[in-house]
Amino acid sequence: MRICIASDFFYPNMGGVEEHIFNLSQCLLSRGHKVVIMTHSYGDRKGIRYMTNGLKVYYIPIKVFYNQVILPTMICNIPLLRYILVREQIEIVHGHSAFSTLAHEAMNVGQLLGLRSVFTDHSLFGFADLSAVVTNKFLEISLANCNHCICVSHTGKENTVLRAKVHQDKVSVIPNAVDTAHFTPNPCHRPSDPDRINVVVVSRLVYRKGVDLLAGILPKLKHCPNIHFIVGGDGPKRALLEEIREKNNMQDRVTMLGALEHSQVRDVLTQGHIFLNTSLTEAYCMAIVEAASCGLQVVSTRVGGIPEVLPDSLIILTEPTVESVYRGLMVAIRREAEKKQIGCMYMNGSMDGSVGACREWRGGGPVCPFERNNMVANLYNWDNVTGRTEKVYRKVLQEKESTLGPMMVNCLRSGVWPFLLVISLCHLILRFLDWFVPRKYIDRCPLDNPFWEGTVASRSRQSLNDVRVHVHPIPGSSSSAATTTGKSTSSFNRHSKRHKLSGATTS
């Protein structure tokens, strides 16, 4: 399959959506699919860039309008989007994030070109305030012609079905995943002081992440000298935390790390015993999954899709109030203190007897960090997520191509009649471009990925049979062996030349 993933949020910007897109793309590439990323330019990062395993990224030179999102024009970027989709011979356009304008525009152009479209929603929205009402209406219009939607939690699915008026049969739940081989526990990184307990907070310091709750909890723990906080992340609410830290003389116990690269998150998590999440709304919180994979006790607010992410043995859920979060945090602190008292060997970095000791706690106490990692690995892994996403792709490819008439009828159901003029104008622009720049004059990129060692796996069955014949000579015949070896070498050289010529043409 040939897939184009479109979103305003991608590297070098860091976040949950960016990490999800990158990991999903790598897994799809490893399964032999062609994947292309489409995003807007970041600074001097423009044009075509290649990332790990030959992942091709189009950094389109479009100005950012607000909060890393381009200006929603619907028509100005049509020529460039059409050129990329035709050039890469795309079959499926996969948009990510309801906030991404580029994702919605790419899906709209793809639908008018007869391609299939899939949309993944990573966020939850309200229904009461004016901004939510406007956003929900635009999302309803955009998803009117979408072939299928993916949500990261069942709560997110209910939210998307209600606010975008999408039929529930066209929405699937596929959660995020975590690389448990990278996010592994390392008790040796924890402080050597046996009485010290580190509480880790890693998130963007914004209102939606409940930083005000964290600011209310810090003064309550100023009389507990053994409790230390490590806060990773940056945002407009950082000044509030620094003010609270100064006011309560907790400079030596509250460490502000600032913005973190994703590669640094694991090293920060392994320094802690407890992970605290105070989000006010979340469709699916990747941070708590990564923390649990690193062996930390997780304390989190019971909001959005968080209750369905981790089992009760790995998380302590609280209400989004200062008192409730404080009580949940104290429960985790008491468990950690009791665990230190019984002298669990794994807290000192030794695995001797750790599993047997932790089984006694399974009824209501902490679980061994390494057992937590195994539990998360069984719950969430990228192979499972990729396989379920492939099923969605195969399902939408079996559907009929969308035409202008049904698309306009679907848009009418949203009640926004003027949007029909936008769809009609986009259609006319595409027809004009088909006349002005016919598709036959657009160079096609090769379907195989020359950077990937497993390119042979994506070729046809006949090619595989040819390779198999060339590799296995007739036993006992040296001349035939030399002949078949020569054929294999010449066949490889022809493929190599084809890739080199294609690469020179397309780059």
Domain-embedded: residue 370? yes
Domain-embedded: residue 481? no
Single out the residue of 33, 36, 31, 50 nearest to residue 4, CA to CA: 36
Residue ending a domain, among 424, 441, 458, is: 441
Specify the pLDDT at position 480: 38
193 and 307 both lie in a single domain: yes
The answer to whether 317 touches 336, Cβ cutoff 8 Å, is: no
Residue 64: CB partners within 8 Å, gap ≥ 6? 40, 70
Residue ending a domain, among 406, 424, 441, is: 441
DSSP 45: B
| Ranges in the chain, pLDDT < 70 | 341-366, 449-507
Domain-embedded: residue 62? yes
Tens-digit pLDDT profile for residues 354-375: 444 444 444 455 578 888 999 9
Domain-embedded: residue 458? no
Residue ending a domain, among 441, 456, 484, is: 441
The answer to whether 122 touches 17, Cβ cutoff 8 Å, is: yes
Domain-embedded: residue 495? no
295 and 224 both lie in a single domain: yes
Single out the residue of 155, 414, 93, 84 nearest to residue 303, CA to CA: 155
150 and 199 both lie in a single domain: no
249 and 172 both lie in a single domain: no
Tens-digit pLDDT profile for residues 55-87: 999 999 988 888 788 888 888 999 999 999 999
Place of tokens 């959506």: 17
Specify the pLDDT at position 365: 55
Q: What is the CATH number of the domain that holds 247?
A: 3.40.50.2000
199 and 148 both lie in a single domain: no
26 and 119 both lie in a single domain: yes
The answer to whether 256 touches 176, Cβ cutoff 8 Å, is: no
* Residue 27 lies in domain: 2-177+384-441
238 and 297 both lie in a single domain: yes
Task: Please state the domain count of the chain.
Answer: 2
DSSP 263-292: HHHHHHHTT-SEEEE--S--S--HHHHHHH
398 and 373 both lie in a single domain: no
Provide the residue type at 442 as one letter. I
27 and 126 both lie in a single domain: yes
Domain-embedded: residue 358? no
Specify the pLDDT at position 270: 93
Domain-embedded: residue 470? no
CA distances from 474 to 230, 461, 463, 470, 490 (A): 66, 22, 19, 10, 19
User: Peptide bond preceding 12: is omega within 30 degrees of 0, i.e. cis?
Assistant: yes
Specify the pLDDT at position 473: 38
Specify the pLDDT at position 194: 81
Domain-embedded: residue 467? no
Specify the pLDDT at position 104: 93
d(CA 237, CA 43): 26
